[in-house]
């Protein structure tokens, strides 16, 4: 298997790592602020996002995707169920299993996230279609790379 090509140093800003780390930190900070704005913890909002994107799943799958062990995952689902955002239901494929289904979203979530969405849209509108295609290809591929790397770290830990 060949090693992926590295971007040439000439094509990268000298502070590329710092720029990218600032970006990731800002995204994480916004996630925490958005969660607080709707009276949730960041992990709770993250779990709701996972369920919204992937659909119903077992608590074990949700735990794996959030990086939580069994006990914290149970408490997470308990909190979200008590708040009315998820429900536990029998798995239609195997009634011995339980699945966690999203049933509602925090009131005010869209309003809390609207300023960042507006600002990001203002940035994106400045890019021509071919550059947008590159950006969204990157987002798609980078998300998978981070997910795979997280799974690798979890297996090693």
Q: Look at residues 92, 68, 96 and name the one whose alpha carbon lies nearest to residue 80.
A: 68
pLDDT digits 0-9 by tens, 88-97: 999 888 888 9
- The phi and psi torsions of 21 (rounded to 5 degrees) equal -65, -40
For the whole model, what pTM was predicted? 0.84
Rounded-to-10 torsion of CA 27, 49, 34, 30: 0
Give the residue-averaged pLDDT of 111-134: 97
Domains of the chain: 16-126 (1.10.10.10)
Q: Look at residues 25, 24, 68, 26 and name the one whose alpha carbon lies nearest to residue 46.
A: 68
pLDDT digits 0-9 by tens, 57-76: 999 999 999 999 999 999 99
């Amino acid at each position: 298997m060949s090693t992926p090509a590295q971007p040439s140093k000439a094509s990268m800003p000298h502070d590329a790592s710092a720029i990218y780390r600032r970006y990731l930190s800002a995204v994480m900070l916004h996630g925490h602020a958005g969660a607080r704005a709707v009276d949730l913890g960041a992990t709770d909002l993250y779990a709701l996002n996972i369920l919204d994107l992937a659909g119903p799943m077992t608590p074990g799958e949700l735990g794996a995707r959030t990086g939580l062990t069994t006990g914290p995952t149970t408490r997470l689902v308990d909190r979200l169920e008590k708040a009315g955002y998820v429900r536990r239901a029998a798995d239609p494929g195997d009634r011995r299993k339980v699945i966690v289904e999203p049933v509602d979203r925090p009131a005010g979530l869209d309003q809390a996230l609207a300023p960042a969405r507006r600002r990001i849209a203002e940035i994106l509108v400045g890019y021509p279609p071919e550059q947008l295609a590159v950006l969204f290809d990157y987002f798609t591929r980078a998300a998978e790379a981070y997910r795979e790397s997280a799974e690798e770290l979890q297996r090693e830990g």
